[in-house]
Structures are given as structure tokens and as C-alpha cells.
């Protein structure tokens, strides 16, 4: 993949460059977004660090629908109904991380999902190589450039928006103050190349990916067309008490059969298990994204703005996202494009002598149309949560969630999403190291 440098920005995070800090993946600490840029540790041989994550939820959710009919069960005349929800544990999830220091300023990251909602078996999520120095070519080679630059290449999550740094990545949930991810979960693992430039609290990034989640060189009906994305932002610790970050991101996916993964590429699955499923619906790993919404666009254009402000223990993170694209069926485009808007706002208060406790709320909504002639879809979610970092590696959290769908036939004549609602409590315990 081609990586292109874009004018940009240094993160205002701790630039500690201990071997442990350098080898950890980006989401190893609270409120760390891009991996901080600093002097690379000296290299005296290959170093390998192994870590992992474990997460377990206790779910107590109820659901209901205003749909006038859910049809019948199979080919019978028995009226279809919602699945009966109870209170119990979900399947535990686990990750395995391997990080290696291969040369001065050169690290590799690899993540394997050992157990996930969508896949019970172990399989590789993805990985990348990150280059912060070019001393492996010649000592001091392009040192003045690499002091501010970075190249990242891999088959892993692309750096679109800031929320993917705070979301739950299967069992890696220690940096998500809540249990669920956004309704439109902008997260995709693709073959990519990214170039960064960090300068005076500004960050710039330009990246390109092949737009695909599943990789193959066989064309068939696949139209292999690259996606291009970029980010520009500012991140500064203004004082001991105040940190401010603001970023804007843009992505354009160009394929009809390979460009529709941005909101549908999480192969781990959603957190709210089995909500608004009926007796006719697939269960288990065959229906693993309940509670989320994928607009299903191809040839998309999307942009996202993310403000982050932390003043002492008070913390705000927000997202405004707009996406437009074509609800193509295979290679057949619709006559007009559609668009959706996502809004999200999180307000937390962290307290305790190490900010080991927190409570707060999140509002998340999406609204839009599949095309010019379709009716509007609308989903609203509200969360209240609290948590306790028992140690820096162990977090216990509790959440109340309430999610509602508008009552319109656009969801389907017999869909439980029509006027659907789910609400209740989620408990989650996670360990990350």
C-alpha cells in the first residue's frame, strides 16, 4: 500500500518511550488516540511483548415492538413473536496481542480474537508494522524528517475518526466507559497504508486502503477499487488541568462490491445480544450485530468531527458524522443516493485520587434515508454508566441502556425494528494487559 505524508500534528499525550509503552497497541491507555510520537527506544535486539484482554457481561435487557404484525413462524399459521429475553451471562470474549520491536523505531502489532460473539474459534483480527525511524537503512537516515513523520502499513483497522480508539474491540473494552459501541459503528479492518506528520500539537494523516475486508485477487464480480481517507487535528495539554483535542476525518470508498465495509466490518459482533430478534430470526453467531445499524452504502463519502475536552475530572467526547452513498444491490446502483447523520455525545466525571471511579452518560442517534424516495429511519439511544478501575488493568462497569426505533414501515412490513425498543442493565468486567 502507498503511504502518503500529510501536513499535521503532535498529540498532547504523554510521550514516554519506555519499551513497554512503545510496544503497547494504541488503545493501551485511557484517552490515548494515535500512538504518541516521541524518541524511539534504543535497539539492542528483538524484543517481544505478549498481552491480552478478557471481557464478560451479565445482560438483563427487555425488548418490545410496535409492529402491527411480525408475520407467522416459518410456514405455519402460528403468529411470530419476539424471542423471550432473560438475565444471564453472555459468552466471554478474549484477545491475544503480540507486539515486537524489530529495529530502532520499528514495531509490529498483531491481534488475535480467541473468542468472539461472531466467531467462537480463534482467528487473527489483523496487524500492522509502524515505522518511526529509518535507522535500519542507515543510522540517522532522514532523521530530521522522521522526527515528525510516521509510516504505518498493515491489514488492520483504518484510522478514520477518533471513536475507534475508544470503542470496544471484542475483549479490549477497558477504554470504553460504556458497554456498547456507536449505533453506526465506524470500524473497518482493511489492507492499508498510512502516512503521518506530527508538528506542534497538530496531526495530519493520509491513508489508502483496498476497500475490502476479505482479501482475494480473484476478480469475478469484485470491482477492486481503493478507498482514500484523511485526518487533520489539534491536540494540546493546555495546562495541568485542561486538555483539548479536535479532529476532522474524511473517507471515500469507490467500489460497488468492495467499498461497503465501513459500518459492517466488525467481525467480533455487537454487545446487546439478541435484542429485537424474533422466532424466525437466525441466532448465535449468525446474527451478531443486534443493536447496530449499517446503512449499506457503496461508493460512500463520509466525514466525522470529534471534539475531546478534559478539564480535571470532567471529560467530554463528541462525534458528528455524515455519510452519503448508493444503496447498490450488487453492481446495480439505485437512481439516487441516500444519506445518514450520526450524533454522539459522552459526558463523564472521573474521580478518586487516581480517577479510578467514573460515572456519566452518552446520547447517540442516527437519522436518514436510503435514497431520495425512501422514508426516514431514526434510532435514538441513551446510556448511563459508572465504573471502577480496581487496578489499572481491571475495570468493572454497569450501564443502563435505552434504544428506540421510529415506527415506520421503512423497517419492513413484519420487522420487529418497526417501533422497536430495548432497555435494561448491562454489567461488564474486563481485564487488559
Low-confidence ranges of the chain (pLDDT < 70): 1-17, 26-28, 219-224, 258-259
Q: What is the pLDDT of residue 220?
A: 62
In a domain, 213, yes or no: yes
- Please report the pLDDT score of residue 221 as a whole number: 58
Summarize pLDDT for 286-311 with one digit per residue, the tens: 899 999 999 999 889 999 999 999 99
- pLDDT value at residue 24: 81
Please tell me the distance from the alpha carbon of residue 51 to that of residue 97, in angstroms, as a whole number: 5
DSSP letters, 345-380, are EEEEEEESTT--EEEEEEEEEEEEESSTTSPPEEEE
Q: Evaluate whether 381 touches 406 at the Cβ level (below 8 Å).
A: no
User: At 167, is the secondary structure helix, strand, or coil?
Assistant: coil
**Closest by CA position to 189, among listed 216, 222, 159, 217:** 159
Inside any domain, residue 240: yes
Q: Is residue 346 part of a domain?
A: yes
pLDDT in the model for residue 30 = 83
Coil, helix or strand for 74?
coil
Encode pLDDT of 9-52 as tens digits. Answer: 333 334 446 787 888 876 667 899 999 898 999 999 999 999 99
Has residue 1 been placed in a domain? no
Domain count for the chain: 1
> Which pLDDT belongs to residue 17?
62
CB 409 within 8 A of CB 374: no
Instruction: Give 137's contacts (C-beta < 8 A, 6+ positions apart).
Output: none
412 located within any domain: no
pLDDT at 212: 82
- Determine, yes or no, domain membership for 401: no
70 within domain boundaries: no
pTM for this structure? 0.92
* 126 found inside a domain: yes
Q: What is the pLDDT of residue 275?
A: 97
Domain, as residue range, for 199: 19-49+94-368
Amino acid at each position: 500500500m502507498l503511504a502518503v505524508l500529510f501536513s499535521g500534528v503532535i498529540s498532547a499525550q504523554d510521550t514516554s518511550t519506555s519499551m513497554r509503552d512503545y510496544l503497547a497497541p494504541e488503545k493501551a491507555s485511557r484517552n490515548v488516540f494515535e500512538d504518541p510520537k516521541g524518541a524511539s527506544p534504543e535497539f539492542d535486539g528483538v524484543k517481544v511483548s505478549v498481552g491480552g484482554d478478557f471481557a464478560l457481561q451479565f445482560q438483563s435487557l427487555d425488548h418490545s415492538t410496535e409492529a402491527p404484525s411480525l408475520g407467522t413462524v416459518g410456514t405455519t399459521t402460528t403468529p411470530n413473536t419476539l424471542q423471550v429475553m432473560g438475565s444471564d451471562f453472555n459468552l466471554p470474549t478474549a484477545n491475544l496481542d503480540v507486539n515486537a520491536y524489530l529495529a530502532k523505531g520499528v514495531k509490529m502489532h498483531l491481534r488475535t480474537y480467541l473468542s468472539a460473539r461472531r466467531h467462537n474459534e480463534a482467528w487473527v483480527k489483523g496487524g500492522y508494522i509502524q515505522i518511526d525511524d529509518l535507522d535500519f537503512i542507515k543510522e540517522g537516515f532522514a532523521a530530521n524528517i522522521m522526527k515528525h513523520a510516521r509510516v504505518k502499513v498493515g491489514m488492520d483497522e483504518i484510522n478514520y475518526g477518533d471513536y475507534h480508539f475508544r470503542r470496544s474491540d471484542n475483549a479490549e473494552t477497558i477504554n470504553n466507559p460504556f458497554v456498547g459501541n456507536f449505533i453506526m459503528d465506524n470500524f473497518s479492518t482493511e489492507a492499508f497504508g498510512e502516512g503521518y506528520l506530527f508538528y506542534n500539537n497538530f496531526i495530519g494523516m493520509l491513508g489508502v486502503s483496498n476497500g475490502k475486508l476479505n482479501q482475494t485477487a480473484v476478480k469475478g464480480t469484485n470491482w477492486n477499487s481503493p478507498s482514500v481517507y484523511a485526518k487533520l487535528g489539534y491536540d494540546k495539554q493546555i495546562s495541568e488541568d485542561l486538555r483539548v483535542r479536535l479532529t476532522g476525518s474524511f473517507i471515500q470508498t469507490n467500489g460497488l462490491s468492495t467499498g461497503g465495509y465501513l459500518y459492517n466490518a466488525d467481525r467480533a459482533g455487537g454487545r446487546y445480544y439478541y435484542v429485537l430478534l424474533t422466532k424466525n430470526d437466525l441466532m448465535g453467531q449468525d446474527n451478531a450485530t443486534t443493536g447496530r445499524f449499517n446503512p449499506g452504502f457503496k461508493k460512500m463519502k463520509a466525514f466525522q468531527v470529534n471534539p475531546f475536552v478534559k478539564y480535571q475530572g470532567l471529560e467530554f467526547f463528541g462525534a458528528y458524522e455524515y455519510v452519503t452513498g448508493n444503496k447498490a444491490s450488487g453492481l446495480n446502483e439505485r437512481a439516487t443516493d441516500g444519506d445518514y447523520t450520526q450524533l454522539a455525545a459522552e459526558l463523564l466525571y472521573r474521580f478518586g485520587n487516581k480517577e479510578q471511579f467514573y460515572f456519566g452518560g452518552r446520547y447517540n442517534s442516527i437519522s436518514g434515508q436510503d435514497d431520495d424516495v425512501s422514508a426516514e429511519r431514526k434510532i435514538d439511544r441513551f446510556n448511563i454508566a459508572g465504573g471502577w478501575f480496581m487496578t489499572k488493568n481491571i475495570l468493572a462497569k454497569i450501564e443502563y441502556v435505552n434504544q428506540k426505533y421510529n415506527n415506520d414501515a421503512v423497517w419492513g412490513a413484519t420487522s420487529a425494528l418497526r417501533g422497536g425498543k430495548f432497555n435494561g442493565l448491562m454489567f461488564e468486567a474486563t481485564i487488559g494487559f
